[in-house]
Amino acid sequence: MTKMRLTFEKGEATRYVGHLDVLRTFIRALRRAQIPVKYSEGFNPHALMTFALPLGVGVTSECELVDVTVTKQLPPEAVIERLNENLQAGGIKVTACEYTDLPFGEIMRAEYIIIVKTAEKADALALENALAQQEILVDKKSKKQTKQINIMEHIFESEVQDLGDEGFTLRAVISAGNSFNVKPQLVVAAIASVMPEPEIKNILPHRKRFIFQD
C-alpha cells in the first residue's frame, strides 16, 4: 500500500464545480482508469484519498494536490496518461504524479491570479490606493459563523497586472490553508468596498501556487 500524490489543474470547464464534486469526479475517473485505489473497510467503503486544500466554486487552479492510497504502484507516466484519458478535456487534468510517504506540507499562503471584469475601466490610482490601505474590514463567512477581519493583514503581495477597458487582473498572495483560509473573491470585495466605481461584473480567480511553511 502506497500513497500516490497527484498534482492537477482545475480548468475553465470545471470552474463552477465545487470541492465535493471534484472529489467525486476523481473517484470515478480513478475507477475508469482502473487505478488500484485502496478502499476503506466497513459498511460503506470509500476510496482513501485526501486533498491538500479544497478549492472553492468559481476558482480554477494549476496547483491542486491530492493523495490517493493505492494497492499497487503503477508507473507515474501511466497514471497520468490513463487518468487524463478518463477526464473530460478542459476540466480537471493531472499534471504530475509521485509516490511518497510524507504528508502534505502545511499550507500557509496561496498565490492567485484574479481576473476582475468591470462595467467600465477602473481608475489606476484608485486601485493603487485601495491596495495600499492599512485596514479594510470585511465579513468572513464560514459554515458556522461570520467574523469581521482586517483583510489587509492577510494580503502579503498584491499588484495590478493588467488594466483594460473591461477590467483588470490582480496578482495576490493571501492567507490559505486548513486553519485559516481567505477566499480570493473576498479580496476583490474588499477593494470594491473602498472603490465603489466601476461596478464589478465578474470575478474569475485562478490559484497559481501554494506556499508552504518552511
Partner 1 sequence: MVDISAFLDKVEKPARYTGGEWGSIIKDPASVDVRFAFCFPDTYEVGMSHLGMKILYGLLNARSDTYCERIFAPWVDMEQLMRQNGVPLFSNETHSSAGDFDILGFTLQYEMSYTNIVNMLDLAGIAAFSENREGVFVCAGGPCAFNPEPIADLIDFFVIGEGEEVIGEVIDAYKTWKKSGEPRRAFLERIARLDGVYVPQFYEVSYNGDGTLASFTPNNENAKRKITKRIVHDLNKAYYPTEFIVPYIDIVHDRIMLELFRGCIRGCRFCQAGIIYRPVRERSRDRLLALANALIKHTGYEEISLTSLSSSDYTMLGELCGGLLDVTEKQNINLALPSLRIDNFSLELMEKIQKVRKSGLTFAPEAGTQRMRDVLNKNITEEDITKSTRLAFENGYSGVKLYFMTGLPTETDEDVLGIASLATLVADQYFAVPREQRAKGLSITVSTSCFVPKPHTPFQWAAQDSVTELMRKQKLLQGAIRQRAVKYNWHEASVSYLEGVFARGDRRLAKVLVAAQKSGCKFDSWHDFYSFERWLGVFAECGADPDFYTVRHRSYDELLPWEHIDSGVSKQFMVSENERAMRGETTPNCRENCSGCGAASFGGGVCVD
Please tell me the distance from the alpha carbon of residue 78 to that of residue 26, in angstroms, as a whole number.
16
If one asks whether residue 2 binds partner 1 (CB under 8 A), the answer comes out as no
Look at strands 107-118 and 167-175 and give their pairing. Answer: antiparallel
State whether residue 47 is helix, strand or coil.
strand
Residues 29, 63, 124, 156, CA torsion sign: positive
Q: Give residues 51-80 in contact with partner 1 (rule: CB under 8 A).
A: 57-58
Q: Which of 117, 140, 171, 208 binds partner 1 (CB under 8 A)?
A: 117
Please tell me the distance from the alpha carbon of residue 17 to that of residue 56, in angstroms, as a whole number.
8
If one asks whether residue 44 binds partner 1 (CB under 8 A), the answer comes out as yes
Work out how close the CB of 35 gets to partner 1 at its nearest, in angstroms, rounded to a whole number: 11
If one asks whether residue 45 binds partner 1 (CB under 8 A), the answer comes out as yes
Quick one: 45 or 164, whose CB is closer to partner 1?
Answer: 45
If one asks whether residue 91 binds partner 1 (CB under 8 A), the answer comes out as yes
Please tell me the distance from the alpha carbon of residue 212 to that of residue 65, in angstroms, as a whole number.
13
If one asks whether residue 190 binds partner 1 (CB under 8 A), the answer comes out as no
Please tell me the distance from the alpha carbon of residue 38 to that of residue 166, in angstroms, as a whole number.
48
Quick one: 15 or 152, whose CB is closer to partner 1?
Answer: 15
Q: Which of 7, 15, 62, 123 binds partner 1 (CB under 8 A)?
A: 15
Quick one: 27 or 152, whose CB is closer to partner 1?
Answer: 27
DSSP 49: E
Run of H or E including 124:
helix 124-131
Q: Which of 5, 8, 9, 29 binds partner 1 (CB under 8 A)?
A: 29
Please tell me the distance from the alpha carbon of residue 170 to that of residue 191, in angstroms, as a whole number.
11
**Look-up: residue for cell 465603489?**
196
Query: Contact positions toward partner 1, by CB under 8 A?
Result: 13-18, 21, 24-25, 27-32, 39, 43-45, 57-58, 86-88, 90-91, 117, 185, 201-203
